[in-house]
Structure 1
């Protein structure tokens, strides 16, 4: 028996790590009754950041004993776990057996590689997904070991996707007789992210590989780099000529900037970026981070300081939005993140009203779905580039009718990455229609063209919104309101509408007008300062734009919670999501650590606070690497068994986890000397067979041909008009009994004008032709 509409959603959490704990925390923070199975979580003084985060996520969840597990599951709406083996051991039956006996309950499980495919059941740690999915391939300096995102950050991605997918699965209607299992693999999620990131480069003749403090080939155009300033470093990201001209003006228009050589953004970015760095660095060194931040605001530049976490915690915007929450631990009051979105009934009072913590206080009913789980839902997508469009694409692949709005004079920027290069040759044709990046982000959508600066175009958009369930936008705060299609206007005609606004810092507050690209966003919240080789200056992660897809994952959580509430209350809502808050929330381990230790955490390379060895090591061959993670003493013994001819591994000094952690640098050096003599794939196979987590660090070709990705159905070959066959990734959700649309691409510019504007809105042929001639449609 599960909850009835009007009562809180009931959730059982069986977690061992960050992914499951974060999923449960998100649901609990939205008003679900979440019960943890296990002992109450405690944390010792000086505990590692992962332990701190787990304690934070557990703090407000009641705990029940394993003996009460069967009873708790029997009345649960959703059961989540990041440890299917522990689940089976506790209840005496497999996850599949329990799900089949309780089809009204959604069972959600997250793991590194998932429940199916050749790597299902392979011992793994989160760093394996960063290696296998290709994340690590592009982080770090050329000729040095690939780097990883610090532990815990990317696990939150799996947790957010699990929360969203479980809410969607419950909303989608009756389960099959075998029950409903939501299977989220961190490897799938990260591969999907990489599948967008790398297209910004590889389809336009650029490399996607380690480039130090610069994005590879500057992402196509200068600047895309981290450079020093008077008191630290700043991240510069500009993609257009007007942005560069404003930056030059901010520097006082130095004489060198007038030379033709320094007005060619692509040449500066790809051919001689270091030369330009040397010209602008003296100006940067004359200014502090605070001064550069003020200049960036005045000149509307996308520049952000590499902020330390104490600086981020002191951000007035976070205080204004009430984002940080008090947490008492061992007699000390710390501050941790709250939900990165606010929920209001009207936008006009959104800054004073927030009902996000009550979204799941009403369990909600189920929809009458068709062959696809979201069939019958209509979404108006006003999104731009990646974050909001990613939300729309996943909704489209789940069956929603998603209508993307562009204008031919200002198409989505992801269409404009440049000339398409295939096999070293330029592909002739309309780049805007062929862009693989655009098709990946907008997979499954319909596409129309409207001039939203024309009152007639605005009226057509309003008519579409009146028939829609969801409206998506990620413009700067207040932009759609100034266009006449803000939430309060739309809600008056459609009170069931759920509108998602995904601005950089949120709709209200002193930083509401903040301009962001993904790297400046991650610099602003402190992530870039955490990525680097141990004890060295931060390298950052400019090649891996995590801010956009992270915002999309959190937006999906809010959307499905809002839809569940709507099934009970009949009312829509306004979701004000801050992309910077959503990213900062994933840094919880380090947010708490910095408050305990009183100083910025140092860069630690690929180290893990609770594992050693834990890192990325060389193998035979040029730029050939593998990850190895030793979780406990049993893993260490297994590793020693594989490398039995290495006498240092038999030294008792390495016998205990604490000893290995204390001397991890020496241990890493000896381990790397051994792995460098081994064939990578053979060593990975031997280590996995022995029970040791290990994975190859895939480059793009390796990811494209990865058997696990193929077996999980995450990739498919799609015909793109003018370009031909191209591999695109599908939504990274694997849910029993539910289908995800396949065989889809993004729309050609204006491809569905007739279908939508005549078929849905009912424009006559004469009216359609007149509005086209007037430039309203087009």
Structure 2
């Protein structure tokens, strides 16, 4: 166990997939000493070609880590602070014990494991691939087109989510200290992570009378208001996203205020979005057809529109903002010099454009001894001021609150968090009357466990109150436009002047400085900007994108948690605070490294591949008997293929020697998929899934939202709980998707009613008397 302050965090990585590799890469990039046990034939990629995205990504993530001779494994794990893995079979084979058994013998070591279904629950031992988590957590239900197979996010991207959660949770477990009676096992299930993400995404729709369903290149019913769609332009496609009337009015102005926009029919945003969006598309498309992606990007910047082109990966790599922030780096693969990414955040002792060197790369190079053992909420005593807005930064605050931090959300009644303003709540088809600002299930999901106060920060006295709060706080969170806090007099340099240990996490769309620092982003325009939307679609067709599944916000949140916990590690050892400048677009592009590398080696943009995997066939989503019934099925190797053939011995494909080897199956995947589809559609979905799982073949039902709510694995892992919301009653909310042995998590919590804790927070922490508080309310300071 590392006991000497000033030494790097010591990590041993025993993994075979993207999740473990990405976790180790993040820790290594922040200065940890990561020793990696190479897996000679990692599962799921043995049949892939050397330049496929997954193989390239794993090779890049391995760079910078120290290779470990298997003969030295005992010494390495004895000295490790954290052992990470995404392959329990490999872990057990190498170390001779399960994760639980290992920590019983090494109680001072954190063992952090990522799997598809988790280490507990009825599916814990079930054969699975990452696609199983996507379909069972309802991600795929809302991607693609009606009447066609649901789509998946390309392989590797969501595994990076598991890897980032693994990194953050392992640092939290270390912060909690050793546990002599059994050690710490961090259990991260990809299905938990994705269910948590869907639990926010779907509320944008289902609680306001809309379905969360596949609708091609449009978010379901435009997400409530027009526009929320991908449309063609002169040289490609663009993603248009607008939620408010001022945004629509600026877009109309950008188009030259055509006559049709003056009709009342085209001034009703919700009607346009939900009742006749195709009609509005047809009116906009002639204008779009006259402009290139670059021209539309310039217009969007000029008129402050949330519009982004669907960029290919070569265009993304050429982003001036990335170059300005030194985000990109060179990597040599064979005889090729390729461009890849570094960390998506910069860390400094002061906010400023001159942040060289970036201290992010040394956060874990100087850590102290672990804290004393605690099985209480591990962040108890940590105070956080949450100035966040909508999802990304508020999600960070919610995760901290659920593990015991005192998180104080700061709003203004005249400009509350926008997630409070989603609209009228619909339940069982009936409108719920009441104060919708305090009822929004989406708001409560993102803000679980926080206290809430209201300050009018346009008033100097309110600014002074916030400065006083910051003086006794540990962390400040914000995701406003770059420079907004500085203009309000509450920037990091001001707040940290009286609190040198303060850590601020600033999460703007593109970073605090640079030519695109004022970029306006929503999740779909962010993912369009970095190339994700261009990768999602049916083979041989134009991309459909993934507008229903907003990945940018929760992805930014988990990367912020990684940076924050690393900064807290450094503060424990050195007392130094930090300014963390995180770019949400960079954080999302980090998860696309494998595809960016592939594009460079192949010399062209990767086309959408539907639900295929470079190292497996069949691998996809197939129809079952009945209307809109689907299941996933994946064959990892020849053993899986033989088991599948044994289930369907009468099928021609089961007897066809052309499919006997993995390479042959991959080469003929399109033909094989058609044959498997013709077979699967004759069977009941759940019965077929049961048969396949019993035979050891990965398979899962494609859950709709009702299926997710009732899922037995999610229930067994206690991911969801019913919480009483103001004016609404019981509502299912998901908890933080981390299971850490011996660590408690706050349950039964909701978000704050606006201003709910004004008196208790301001009087307790700042010593205001009731009379002083009342006067500040009357003066519009507490407002």
> Which bracket does the TM-score occupy, shorter chain normalised?
over 0.9
Change (3 A) 1:353 1:38: closer
State which of 557, 570, 577 in structure 2 corresponds to 1:572. 577
Number of the residue aligned with 1:666 = 671
More off after superposition, 91-100 vs 144-153: 91-100
State which of 718, 733, 744 in structure 1 corresponds to 2:738. 733
Q: 1 CA distance for matches of 2:249 and 2:356?
A: 39
Tell me, yes or no, if structure 1 residue 15 matches structure 2 residue 15. yes
Q: 2 CA distance for matches of 1:93 and 1:241?
A: 59
Summarize the alignment of residues 677-756 of structure 1 with structure 2, pairs less than 5 Å apart.
Answer: 677-756=682-761
State which of 393, 400, 408 in structure 1 corresponds to 2:398. 393
Change (3 A) 1:284 1:518: same
Tell me, yes or no, if structure 1 residue 524 matches structure 2 residue 533. no
**2:157 aligned counterpart, secondary structure:** coil
Number of the residue aligned with 2:422 = 417
More off after superposition, 643-652 vs 71-80: 643-652
Number of the residue aligned with 1:94 = 98
Change (3 A) 1:41 1:499: farther
**1:154 aligned counterpart, secondary structure:** helix
Aligned 8 A contact 2:425 2:440 in 1: yes
Aligned 8 A contact 1:379 1:469 in 2: yes
Q: 2 CA distance for matches of 1:289 and 1:731?
A: 39
Tell me, yes or no, if structure 1 residue 470 matches structure 2 residue 468. no
Taking structure 2 as the reference length, what is the TM-score of the superposition?
0.98
Summarize the alignment of residues 431-446 of structure 1 with structure 2, pairs less than 5 Å apart.
Answer: 431-446=436-451
Change (3 A) 1:145 1:94: same
Aligned 8 A contact 2:420 2:436 in 1: yes
Residue 367 (structure 1) shift: 4.0
Tell me, yes or no, if structure 1 residue 270 matches structure 2 residue 295. no
**1:348 aligned counterpart, secondary structure:** coil
Q: 2 CA distance for matches of 1:444 and 1:626?
A: 36
Number of the residue aligned with 2:241 = 237
* CA deviations over 1:492-511 (Å, ceiling 9, x no partner): 00000010000000001110
Residue 174 (structure 1) shift: 2.9
Q: 1 CA distance for matches of 2:375 and 2:437?
A: 33
Summarize the alignment of residues 7-46 of structure 1 with structure 2, pairs less than 5 Å apart.
Answer: 7-38=7-38, 46=50
Residue 176 (structure 1) shift: 4.5
Give unmatched runs, 5+ long, in structure 2: none
State which of 548, 553, 557 in structure 1 corresponds to 2:553. 548
Change (3 A) 1:450 1:211: same
Change (3 A) 1:350 1:403: farther
Change (3 A) 1:45 1:129: closer
Aligned 8 A contact 2:510 2:518 in 1: yes
Q: 1 CA distance for matches of 2:430 and 2:371?
A: 49
Summarize the alignment of residues 176-191 of structure 1 with structure 2, pairs less than 5 Å apart.
Answer: 176-191=180-195
More off after superposition, 247-256 vs 358-367: 358-367
Summarize the alignment of residues 588-599 of structure 1 with structure 2, pairs less than 5 Å apart.
Answer: 588-599=593-604
Summarize the alignment of residues 441-520 of structure 1 with structure 2, pairs less than 5 Å apart.
Answer: 441-520=446-525
**1:96 aligned counterpart, secondary structure:** helix
Residue 348 (structure 1) shift: 2.2
Number of the residue aligned with 1:676 = 681
Q: 2 CA distance for matches of 1:381 and 1:334?
A: 39
Tell me, yes or no, if structure 1 residue 539 matches structure 2 residue 544. yes
Q: 2 CA distance for matches of 1:567 and 1:455?
A: 34
Tell me, yes or no, if structure 1 residue 317 matches structure 2 residue 321. yes
Aligned 8 A contact 2:353 2:513 in 1: no
**1:339 aligned counterpart, secondary structure:** coil
Q: 2 CA distance for matches of 1:632 and 1:428?
A: 55
Residue 767 (structure 1) shift: 1.2
Residue 65 (structure 1) shift: 2.0
Residue 2 (structure 1) shift: 2.4
State which of 642, 651, 676 in structure 1 corresponds to 2:647. 642
Change (3 A) 1:494 1:257: same
Tell me, yes or no, if structure 1 residue 164 matches structure 2 residue 185. no
Aligned 8 A contact 1:28 1:34 in 2: yes
Residue 46 (structure 1) shift: 4.7
Number of the residue aligned with 1:105 = 109
Aligned 8 A contact 1:250 1:299 in 2: yes
Aligned 8 A contact 1:3 1:363 in 2: no
**1:493 aligned counterpart, secondary structure:** coil
Residue 459 (structure 1) shift: 0.9
Q: 2 CA distance for matches of 1:365 and 1:429?
A: 51
Aligned 8 A contact 1:364 1:566 in 2: no
Residue 273 (structure 1) shift: 0.3
Residue 32 (structure 1) shift: 0.4
Residue 759 (structure 1) shift: 1.4
Aligned 8 A contact 1:11 1:76 in 2: yes
Residue 351 (structure 1) shift: 4.2
Q: 2 CA distance for matches of 1:370 and 1:112?
A: 26
Number of the residue aligned with 2:340 = 336
State which of 295, 300, 305 in structure 2 corresponds to 1:296. 300
Aligned 8 A contact 1:3 1:9 in 2: no
**2:476 aligned counterpart, secondary structure:** strand
Number of the residue aligned with 1:59 = 63
State which of 252, 266, 274 in structure 2 corresponds to 1:248. 252
Aligned 8 A contact 2:49 2:614 in 1: no
Q: Post-superposition, which runs of at least 4 consecutive aligned residues in structure 1 deviate over 3 A?
A: 39-46, 349-353, 365-370
* CA deviations over 1:461-516 (Å, ceiling 9, x no partner): 11111111000000010001111110000110000001000000000111000000
Q: What value does the CA root-mean-square deviation take over the aligned residues?
A: 1.3
Residue 67 (structure 1) shift: 2.1
Number of the residue aligned with 2:413 = 408
Number of the residue aligned with 1:145 = 149
**2:200 aligned counterpart, secondary structure:** helix
Q: 2 CA distance for matches of 1:176 and 1:461?
A: 41
Q: 1 CA distance for matches of 2:211 and 2:543?
A: 22
Aligned 8 A contact 1:113 1:129 in 2: yes
Number of the residue aligned with 2:637 = 632
Residue 456 (structure 1) shift: 1.1
Q: 2 CA distance for matches of 1:774 and 1:366?
A: 47
Residue 89 (structure 1) shift: 0.9
Question: How many equivalent residue pairs?
Answer: 778
Q: 2 CA distance for matches of 1:354 and 1:94?
A: 38
Change (3 A) 1:653 1:41: closer
Aligned 8 A contact 1:366 1:567 in 2: no
Residue 762 (structure 1) shift: 1.1
Aligned 8 A contact 2:151 2:621 in 1: yes
Give unmatched runs, 5+ long, in structure 1: none
* CA deviations over 1:155-198 (Å, ceiling 9, x no partner): 00000000000001101123241111000000000000000000
Aligned 8 A contact 2:13 2:83 in 1: yes
More off after superposition, 88-97 vs 399-408: 88-97
